[in-house]
Structure 1
């Protein structure tokens, strides 16, 4: 009773060992008597198909070496929000099955054949960064040589996690990793190797990717390291995939229109501020820039703060500042033509120093409004000084030769008011020129800073 119970418990172990050790001491040569014009005889490989659940080795202590390589045929998408790289790979795995062997001379000269992969033992190679369900098609085939070398290729749509840096968008380059490892077999049972050199993988992938797509492949490097999980040690190969975005789409649709709108805003300073057309023009331009940003928002990353968003915010700020400057100058001119207050002495001295020749200050009218081509009577709301009946209008500097004291007082008051208007108008134009040059300086420095950051 005890002996029979012992044999019943040990029977599955004996069955496994008999399958693994079946054929020890023999050549494992497949009988080719069924081979002919119609291909191989399926019954000739039954002994191999029966072992597909077990790792194909004649000695369980010897690890199976699996050589891998891949071809990146497409970069489908890069999700900046989820930090995912969606790519399409052709994975190739090569290993030896010692239980498969035949003599080509006895088998109609056949050196290799294809058979259903489901009838063979397949290594469980997976990508550690994989973040989706494996959708590899079923019922794939594998090529088997007469020496027992199995070559298995499968297409993979890989959604792998990648640490993306979008600060330099759209001139960004990313470095993603693809780590191949076994899920079940440790280094005692499986070792990984390279079927192709890294430069071959890179050249093949670059030749396929170079003709289309938003991303271009810069290069592929590899590193081999062991992964420790608890007390188990797994072999793995890590590939570093460097890709770079092609920025032409974003330069044409985002940067060039934004640069044109900013240049038009700078040129609008040449519109005469006293005409009253500069403020409506700048408001229309600012509204158009906001509509442009809303329309192009879909092209920008939805997460993080890329440098291009800072650039757009800077352009918008410059337009708002130019509008505020125009409002300020318009207010000064309105003040000069209605009730101009006396110009402070320090401001008058500063105005004289700025308008004197040889100063590194904005150009201002040299005398009165001659340099402006504008007289206070042409400004909105300006009125000529009142003169008494019978008095000839003449130069402001000439004193009347006759008239009452009241007429003299009116003349002096009008002369003082006209002089105050001239000073305020002159000051307004000097401030307009000064702020315009500061605007250009700030715009040039900020744009050069952004461009230098993109170049790095």
Structure 2
């Protein structure tokens, strides 16, 4: 009795295996009777089309591997205010469908077919940084090989989040990420791989990229971390897309005009300090610089504080300080020629020391034989400058004490010489600060 049950069990097992193998051959191999030179009968793939709602796998404990690559064909826009990168991508995906296979030799040597994508299972691969709804064009097709390898390509205009650093504008480089991952499938059911090497993706993108405007592609790198959300783990591939801004437009329209205006402001120091047109000229330059900044404001980033904005602000500050210096020198000259106060001894000693060190200003008389733009013939009774320092409070007091007119002229000359020396000193400080500032900005831009 027991042997009969054993024999019956063996018979049932053999029958089950036979049916499974028979079913496997009928289900997983496409019937070539539907293939001919004029096309393929859709009925040959109807069993595959009916399974499109389910992940194509024989053993559900094994994940489906999807290989991904993309081609960056255009950089359309970089929005610094909203921190968005708009690009055009060709996304390539490849996976295996074990329910599709046929023998090319028996099927009129057809190795590959194109099938409407809507009839196949498509993995739900998304770009995590995307800020727009996927607008894949309808009616796309997929390539299907005789081994069941499916290749699906789709174009897309992608607007993605990108952490933009505009401090070095317009010589900035940005590194944006494009992350591919599944929306529903965890690593237990779907894993991601690479269809091409990173260098192939980079070279292809450089060859086909269409934009020749503000941005250019520098390179593409890749990382394959996993993302954990609660108790679920998702596989993902992160591509780091490095792009660089072409600065020529901003150099010509922003930096060159600004540099010209600042250079003209520096050259205005060579106008005589006594010239009444020096201050109005600097005011005109200052107004022109403000108009220039207002006109070029649209070329600057709408958010953040780029280095070029700091450069413009300091250039404007230097022009304002230049105007204040001119006002100060004009005031000194006016004071010296109308009612010169007595010069302190320490200031007179400093003036003598500065005059010996530089030759750009008139020389202070040393022994009474040389005057400050004055000669003994014009100023009879010239005295030592040290004797005059602190002894003549004003011209009226000098006249009351019986001093000659040469004493007052000598004091006026000292203050005029001091004004010229201060003008030269401030001009050199202006050039020194401006040179240090420009060098610092160039070094920062180059790094």
Partner of 1:237, secondary structure, is strand
Give 1:439's aligned residue: 430
* Contact 2:364–2:371 (CA under 8 A) maintained in structure 1: no
1:183–1:337 CA distance, 2 compared to 1 (3 A): same
Is 1:364 the counterpart of 2:361 in the alignment? yes
Residue aligned with 2:240, SS: strand
Q: Which runs of 5+ in 2 are unaligned?
A: 1-19, 383-398
Aligned match of 2:282? 282
User: Which residue of structure 1 lines up, in the alignment, with residue 302 of structure 2?
Assistant: 302
- TM-score (normalised: structure 2): 0.86
Indicate the residue corresponding to 1:65 in structure 2. 65
- Output one character per residue of 1:224-248: Cα deviation in whole Å (capped at 9) or x when no partner: 1221111212111111112221211
Partners of 1:286 and 1:395 in 2: how far apart? Answer: 42
Displacement of 1:434 in angstroms is 0.8
2:393 maps to 1:396:
no
Partner of 1:181, secondary structure, is: strand
Structure 1 distance, partners of 2:403, 2:377, is 14
Conservation of the 8 A alpha-carbon contact between 1:21 and 1:58: no
CA distance in 2, matches of 1:82, 1:373: 65
**What is the TM-score with the length of structure 1 in the denominator?**
0.84
**Would you say the 8 A contact 2:130–2:161 is kept in 1?**
yes
Once residues 129 and 99 of structure 2 are traced to their aligned partners in structure 1, the CA distance between those partners, rounded to angstroms, is: 34
Query: Shift in Å at residue 24 of structure 1?
Result: 3.1
Q: Secondary structure at the match of 1:347?
A: helix
| CA distances 1:122-152 after superposition (whole Å, capped 9, x unpaired) | 0000011111111221221111112211110
Between Structure 1 and Structure 2, how many residues are aligned?
A: 409
In structure 1, C-alpha distance between the alignment counterparts of 2:79 and 2:113, rounded to whole Å: 41
Q: Which residue of 2 aligns with 1:43?
A: 43
C-alpha displacement of 1:206: 2.1
Cα drift, residue 419 of structure 1: 1.4
Correspondence 1:264 to 2:264: yes
1:364 and 1:371 in contact (8 A); partners too: no
Q: Deviations over 1:179-200 (max 9, x none)?
A: 1111111111111111101110
- Which segment drifts farther, 203-212 or 60-69? 203-212
2-structure distance, mates of 1:21, 1:412: 132
1:455 aligns with 2:446: yes
Q: State the match for 1:348 in structure 2.
A: 348
Gaps of 5+ in 1: 1-19, 377-392, 400-407
Equivalent residue of 1:221, what SS?
A: strand
Query: Which of 402, 408, 420 is equivalent to 2:411?
Result: 420
Distance 1:426 1:355, change over 3 A: same
Q: CA deviation at 1:32?
A: 3.0
1:104 is paired with a residue whose SS is: coil
Report how far residue 102 of structure 1 moved. Answer: 2.1
Per-residue deviation, 1:209: 3.5
RMSD over aligned Cα, in angstroms?
A: 2.6
Partner of 1:156: 156
> Residues 59 and 339 from structure 1, CA distance in 2 versus in 1: closer, same or farther, beyond 3 angstroms?
same
